[in-house]
Structure 1
Amino acid sequence: MTTEALGQPAATEDRRAWYGQLVLGALRRVGAVLGRAFGVVRPVAWVLIAGALTLWIAGRSLGWWELTVAAISITVVLALCLLFLIGRTAYDVSLDLNRTRVVVGERAVGALTLANTGSRAILPSRVLLPVGGGRGVFDVNRLAAGESAEELFAIPTSRRAVVKVGPVSVVRGDPLGLFERVHRRDEPVDLFVHPRTVLFDGQSLGFLRDLEGLPATDLSPDDVSFHALREYQPGDDLRHVHWKSTARTGHMMVRQYEETRRSHFVIGLSTSPGDYRDDDEFELAISAAGSLGLRALRDSQRVEVRVQERALPAGTGKQFLDSLSALGHSKAKAGSVVELAGVVAATLPLASVVVLVCGSKVDSNDLRTACSRLPFGARVLAVVASPGDSAPSLRRIGDADVVTLGALDQLPNALRKVLA
């Protein structure tokens, strides 16, 4: 057997594979064309097309002229409606949101600009703007070459979420709604609806003196960050007398220090549906966690946020609130606040302050167990969301302070009680 004979089967297989790929590519292109063609037909139009075919067949078979006339009438209507699809929709679309981050209850205002950058006029069209699960509809009149149209809109925000705005779709269709040609323009924009938060002043939670802490503005007679010298006052510790300055000035001088504070602030926010009675409790818990985290970030603390299934980004206030906007309930198998406390202890053993946030369905025994699992030596605060309570309550469970909130604006007073 010759070498050419041995190579012939392989060449044949290559040709078959090449022909197969060619046919498959052609079928895909034909399928795409047919998909675009059939995609303009609405369900009502399919019903009319099926009815027209049925009337044509019945009229020819039975010899009834009336059925044939009805089929002709339906066909003419379909053909006239198809003519409305003819025309350009090549708008230059620009979607602009005034703010991509708002708080629950605020309105997000935006503008939709459509410009005809071509050399021919564009016939009237409809523009669809999807907003979350809904959509806005704008009717655009005929635009001559070089003209533009601007549509203003406002998006109400009644609940915390990340709302996808867009992509903008330009629709050409007939008055009867039988056919519709859609062209998508522009890219979608994410609108972050942040939870409500409250600002509060005063001492931050749980600062402890630490060699690695940050210096504060509070002065102390005993710490590790030297601040200045001052004259001796009765009661001062003689160990802090600065003898060289005393000899030079003739007055007894003592060292004064700035308090240093540990800055590892951890928030454990339970997302277990079993810890909350309803969605209002869950939203109150998220708002409380957001308020505490923002205060800690303003105090230049290192903030870590944990939920049952993951850690939330909290490098900046904007990043933290963005992550809270998209937060939902965790799966039931992820566990309750007790399991969350175990995760915090395992992953953040050096935390100086830990705040556990949960709902009112967590009983005292589970809360005690959760607090006992937290890192040793950390100051622990538990915040229990319970909408409807007229005033915040404070109690102790083990070594932890437990605050029960009925409303978000009760948080500043509750923290003052904790720090008193």
Structure 2
Amino acid sequence: MTTAPAATEAPPTEGPTSIDDAPAQASWREVALYLLGRVAGALRRAAKVVRPVGWILIGIAPVLWIVGLTMGWREVTVAAVVVTVVIALCLLFLIGRTTYDVRLDLSRTRVVVGERAIGALTLANSGSRAILPSRVVLPVGTGRGVFGIKHLSPGEEVEELFAIPTTRRAVLPVGPVSIVRGDPLGLFERVDSRDEPVDLFVHPRTVRFDGQSLGFVRDLEGMTSRDLARDDIAFHALSEYQPGDDLRHVHWRSTARTGTLMMRTYEQTRRSHFVIGLSSHPGEYAHPDEFELAVSAAGSLGLRALRDAYRVDVRTQAGKLRTDTQKHLLDALSGVDSTRPRDGSTAALAGTVSAGAPAAAVVVLVCGSRVPAPQLQSAVSRLPLGSRALVVVAALGEEAGRRRIGDADVITIGALEHLPPSLRRVLG
């Protein structure tokens, strides 16, 4: 007689006993993580309002309480009470609204070195409750201005005027405006940022060239290209009339001979290409002010070339600057820094200029007084063939001079005012 095998007990399994347990556990974990994240965020925000002196007192207070209560020292306990009360009273200064309507207005966002940028900071209380006195901080570059704002009633506004002196060429971010609420002891400080920063461009000094042109004979009529146009200067060939052609360019003799309206076709010409290579290598300048002189010379040349309707390019070892308008040229020069690139010599810059503008009509290299003559000669030899080459050497404090290196005129200027008469001698 055979017996059926005994049923074996299934091994116990881990995990939820019902289908709904897993989602419930997952949801509880998500809720816990969410709450922990909110608590951590609140602690981080609270920690930002505590200044170093505040952290010291917050650390001292529990130590005083423990020592005073454990050892029974009344003096230490009194000190713990005093420190705790001071911390609590200072925290009360953080209570209150700081919701100002802030408006930052710079009358001019572009000034020349030495000029002052005038601006106004307007704060208004558009709410229904008064705003307690506070401080307003206005960062300007690496510095900052601090304004004390009085109690503002609902609907009241206050205007603070300021002037930013400029002693160096730069691009200065002005703002963002920060409203600061804190206690008199400096334990706690709450900072709220308002508005967006505004860039203040401090342009280099430049000099005008009156009564003279930087152009040369090579491009009086433009450089011809292979692109054909219906209206230009350089005649190319005749072609049949196309709808939209200007009838002023009809070639009547050919039209009479062929019986078909024939039009003149021209080779499209281009404006003269004026390229400035400004060396930004600090080792080529004897003093930082010498580099500023070089930047001013490059800016003066570029502005005159733009006024003469040339296509202007300005290049440094760091790259090409934006020069399509006079404003963009000066803005770009405001941010040029002297850097030490891997291969930053003037000769290397001349090679970059030649590769980027092989058909340039005029090339001007601007460098410092520490560039030796052999390096200048090497730089001139790398410039595009057929271009008119000019080298401007900024030598702060020296007398103006002129010499020839290869096919290039080399002028030395000790001050920006030397540039116009030196150019007149070269171009005359």
State the Cα distance separating 1:357 from its structure 2 match.
0.3
- Corresponding residue for residue 160 of structure 2: 151
Q: Residue 368 of structure 2: which of 349, 359, 362 is its match?
A: 359
**Alignment partners' CA distance in 1, 2:90 and 2:411:** 66
> Do the aligned partners of 1:337 and 1:358 also contact (CA within 8 Å) in 2?
yes
Change (3 A) 1:397 1:74: same
The answer to whether the 8 A contact 2:277-2:364 is kept is yes
| 1:209 Cα offset (Å) | 3.4
Q: Which amino acid aligns with 1:399?
A: D
- Identify the residue that residue 417 of structure 1 maps to in structure 2: 425
Matches within 5 A, 1:383-402: 383-389=392-398, 391-402=399-410
1:287 alignment partner in structure 2: 296
1:56 aligns with 2:65: yes
Task: Give the TM-score normalised by structure 1.
Answer: 0.83
- Larger displacement relative to structure 2 (202-211 or 19-28): 19-28
* Larger Rg, first or second structure (1 or 2): 2
Partners of 2:271 and 2:281 lie apart in 1 by 30
| Superposition pairs of residues 12-161 of structure 1, within 5 angstroms | 23-161=32-170
Equivalences for residues 137-286 of structure 1 within 5 A: 137-210=146-219, 213=222, 263-286=272-295
Is residue 219–residue 361 contact of structure 2 (8 Å, CA) maintained in 1? no
Counterpart of 1:415, as a letter, is: L
Distance 1:16 1:151 in 2: 58
In the superposition, relative to structure 1, how do residues 48 and 396 fare at CA in structure 2: closer, same or farther (>3 Å)? same
The 1:321/1:280 distance shift into structure 2, 3 A limit, reads same
Partner of 1:277, secondary structure, is coil
Q: Is the 8 A contact 2:317 2:341 kept in 1?
A: no
SS at match of 2:342: helix
Of the structure 1 ranges 313-322 and 31-40, higher mean CA displacement relative to structure 2 is found in: 31-40
Mark the CA change 1:21 to 1:277 in structure 2 (over 3 Å): closer, same or farther: farther
TM-score by length of 2: 0.82
1:138-176 CA distance string (max 9 Å, x none)? 011111000000000000000000001100011111111
For 2:421, the aligned partner's letter is N
Aligned to 2:14: none
SS in 1 for 2:217: coil
User: What is the rounded CA distance, in whole Å, between the counterparts of 1:402 and 1:99 in structure 2?
Assistant: 37
Give the AA of the match of 2:159: E
> 2: distance between equivalents of 1:12 and 1:359?
78
- Residue 308 of structure 1 corresponds to 317
User: What count of residue pairs does the alignment treat as equivalent?
Assistant: 370
> For 1:350 and 1:14, how far apart are their aligned partners in 2?
72
Distance between the aligned counterparts of 1:101 and 1:403, measured in 2? 30
Distance 1:324 1:155 in 2: 20
State whether residues 208 and 261 of structure 1, in contact with CA within 8 Å, keep that contact through their aligned partners in structure 2.
no
| Partner of residue 246, structure 2 | none
Contact between 1:392 and 1:406, CA under 8 Å: does it hold in 2?
yes
Over aligned residues, Cα RMSD in angstroms?
A: 2.4
Question: How far apart are the structure 2 equivalents of 1:203 and 1:209?
Answer: 17
Q: Which residue of 2 aligns with 1:407?
A: 415
- The superposition leaves residues 275-330 of structure 1 with CA deviations (integer Å, 9 ceiling, x where unpaired) of 11120111000000000000000001100111112100000010011011111023
User: In structure 2, how many angstroms separate the alpha carbons of the residues matched to 1:408 and 1:115?
Assistant: 46
Offset at residue 15 of structure 1 (A): 8.1
Cα deviation, 1:39-61, whole Å, max 9, x if unaligned, reads: 11111011111121111111112
| Counterpart-to-counterpart distance in 2, 1:278 and 1:21 | 62
User: Post-superposition shift, 1:204?
Assistant: 2.0
Aligned to 1:4: none
The residue type equivalent to 2:317 in the other structure is: Q
Q: Which residue of 2 aligns with 1:231?
A: none
Show CA shifts across 1:240-288 (max 9, x none).
xxxxxxxxxxxxxxxxxxxx99521000001111211120111000000
Query: In structure 1, the residue corresponding to 2:76 is in which secondary structure?
Result: helix
Deviation at 1:30, TM superposition (A): 2.1
* Aligned counterparts of 2:273 and 2:298: Cα–Cα separation in 1: 15
Following the alignment from structure 1 to structure 2, what is the Cα–Cα distance between the partners of residues 119 and 51? 40
Identify if the C-alpha distance between structure 1 residues 12 and 407 changes in structure 2 by more than 3 Å, giving closer, same or farther. Answer: farther
* Counterparts in 2 of 1:174 and 1:336: CA distance versus 1, 3 Å: same
Q: Please state whether the residue corresponding to 1:288 is helix, strand or coil.
A: helix
